[in-house]
Amino acid sequence: MRNIFFIGLVSFFTDISTEMVYPLIPLYLTGAFGATPALVGLIEGIAESLASLLKVYGGYIADRFQKKKALAFAGYATGIVYKLALLLAASWLGVLAARAIDRMGKGIRTAPRDVLVSESADKNTLGKAFGLHKSLDMAGAALGILFTHYLLKGSANYEYKKLFLLSVIPALLGLCMFFFIRENKPKIRAAEHKPNLSLSSIKNLNGQLKLYLLVVLLFTLGNSSNTFLLLKAKAVGFGDTSVIMLYFIYNAAAAALSLPLGRLSDRVGRKKLLVCGYMVFAAVYFGFAFAFNQSFMYILFIMYGAYTAMITGVERAFVAEIAPTELKGTMLGLQATIAGIALLPASVITGLLWNAFGAVAPFLYGATLSLAAALILALFMKNRSAIESA
């Protein structure tokens, strides 16, 4: 677990940096540049989708050249460029460009990093490994949000750009953690060193993996950017600093639950956690649709953290354990790419539904698709023992 711990520390420091900035983006866009919810959704959707297109290729390059550590380092280094681009942004187009740079870096690093995690654990502890990584990742996010909250709380007219500059420091610390990470290269036959991204290779994948990739697509079409949760909190009456504390509560809940739920998935199987996670998400979105009470919003953000802990690390463990060895990075990247591609129409649809019908409609839409995803998994997804014996 030593390797996983340091990979987790990279994410820990990087997420301190990222979350010092991320909760401010919708507030910065609407306050400084007069952006509407639809425009916020468009910006987030474009940024995330552009990044996600790179995730499958990041995984493919990692499989092809076995340079996972170098690719991950390059991807994390773009986080510094992102903060500098935000400092120079003079319009919403500048913010869009900065967000695209940041998400492109995430696209490059995600699959190589996940392969590093999976290759540092055995198949019986994959859930624990990804749970530990996710726990450190979310703990960093929570700490970054806490920094932002107290810096903003201390000054009524705090300049956002000062926070953008301060956020560079933990990003640099994250890059330093790469000195302690060892790249464990799996034993792959010579013929397997050239992963194939052709349609025929996709057709030959494990049927359960293909099923889950389709479910990811369906679910993500209803899972828009988290910025809409923050905008909903503002609509209920939370101020800027209070919204940031809600986001802190979400990240803290996810950090606390990721490791124990990852371990649980090693014991009871990925299916149960994934089905429960989608059902919790549906309950949360139904709650957001009709939440007009500030106290209830705290409960919803805690539940949203529980959903994240149930899904994020567990789905990566599931993909890693059934993907072909020579295509592990490619498949982890493909899963992230599918989710990212779907995020653009999801965010645009959410913004349009919000503008046309108010905040209730987009959350009901997301909850319905999540329930459909849970139902498909419950009916058609096999347990690990059945997959291994197939």
Q: Tens digits of per-residue pLDDT, 290-302?
A: 888 888 899 999 9
Q: Tens digits of per-residue pLDDT, 63-74?
A: 888 889 999 999
In the predicted structure, residue 189 carries a pLDDT above the cut 70: no
Number of H helices, E strands in the chain: 17, 0
The pLDDT value given to residue 236: 84
Q: What is the pTM of this model?
A: 0.85
How many CB atoms are closer than 10 A to CB 170? Answer: 22
Q: Specify burial of residue 53 (Cβ count, 10 A radius: 0-12, 13-18, 19+).
A: middle
The pLDDT value given to residue 9: 96
At 2, which helix (H) or strand (E)? helix 2-19
The pLDDT value given to residue 51: 73
- Does any domain span residue 193? no
Q: Tens digits of per-residue pLDDT, 9-46?
A: 999 999 999 888 877 787 778 777 777 777 877 777 67
Residue whose pair of structure tokens reads 């301060």 in the numeric block: 166
Residue whose pair of structure tokens reads 């010092």 in the numeric block: 20
Q: Tens digits of per-residue pLDDT, 229-246?
A: 888 888 888 877 788 788
Secondary structure of 58-88 in the HEC alphabet?
HHHHHHHHCCHHHHHHHHHHHHHHHHHHHHH
Q: Tens digits of per-residue pLDDT, 147-168?
A: 877 777 755 555 777 888 888 9
Q: Which domain holds residue 104?
A: 2-178+201-389
Sign of CA dihedral 26, 29, 34, 35: negative
Which one-letter DSSP state was computed for residue 335? H
The pLDDT value given to residue 198: 55
- Does any domain span residue 192? no
Banded model confidence at residue 191, pLDDT cuts 50, 70, 90? very low
- Does any domain span residue 191? no
Residue 109: which residues within 8 A CB-CB, separation 6 or more? 58, 71, 72, 73, 74, 75, 76
Give the chain's mean pLDDT: 84
Which has more pLDDT, 50 or 146?
A: 146
- Does any domain span residue 109? yes
Longest CA–CA span in the chain (Å) reads: 62
Q: Closest by alpha carbon to 362, among 52, 26, 38?
A: 38
In the predicted structure, residue 390 carries a pLDDT above the cut 50: no
Averaged pLDDT, 223-231: 80
Query: Contact 112/329 with Cβ under 8 angstroms?
Result: yes
Averaged pLDDT, 62-86: 89
Buried b vs exposed e over 234-257: b needs ≥16 C-beta within 10 Å? bebebebebbbbbbbbbbbbbbbb
CATH at residue 137? 1.20.1250.20
| Ranges assigned E (strand) in 159-268 | none
- Does any domain span residue 314? yes
In angstroms, the Cα distances linking 332 to 113, 150, 208, 261, 336 are 10, 37, 14, 20, 6
Domain count of the fold of the chain: 1
Q: CA 82, CA 64: separation in Å to the nearest integer? A: 28
The pLDDT value given to residue 154: 59
Averaged pLDDT, 313-326: 87
The pLDDT value given to residue 276: 95
The pLDDT value given to residue 11: 95
- Does any domain span residue 185? no
- Does any domain span residue 188? no
pLDDT-wise least confident of 18-27, 117-126, 217-226, 259-268: 18-27
- Quick check: helix, strand or coil at residue 115? helix
- Does any domain span residue 312? yes
The pLDDT value given to residue 190: 46
